């Protein structure tokens, strides 16, 4: 017997996002311009606080000394 796949089709339209980015939407218009529902500064602040940058690991350690 094959297992039944249970998928929630309502979730297929909306991807899972971090709670701080709830409501974030990004689209590309007919001119190739990127349109976002959040300001780029808010997105950059979120990324700076939550994502570890491999290239900057040594700099942070050197500054703490």
DSSP-assigned beta bridge partners for residue 26: 36
**Domain assignment of residue 63, yes or no:** no
Q: CB–CB of 35/27 below 8 Å?
A: yes
* 35: in domain: yes
61 falls within a domain: no
In whole numbers, what is the pLDDT of the chain averaged over residues? 79
Mean pLDDT of 45-64: 77
H-assigned helices in 1-65? 9-13, 40-50, 57-64
The H or E element spanning position 27 is strand 26-28
Number of domains the chain is built from: 1
**Does the predicted model carry a pTM greater than 0.85?**
no
Consecutive H or E run containing 34: strand 34-36
pLDDT for 11: 55
What's the mean pLDDT in 46-53? 87
């Amino acid at each position: 017997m094959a297992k039944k796949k249970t998928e929630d089709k309502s979730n297929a339209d909306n991807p899972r996002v971090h709670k701080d980015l709830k409501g974030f939407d990004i689209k590309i218009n007919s001119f190739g311009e990127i349109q976002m529902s959040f300001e780029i500064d808010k997105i950059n602040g979120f990324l700076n606080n939550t994502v570890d940058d491999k290239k900057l690991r040594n700099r942070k350690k050197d500054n703490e000394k």
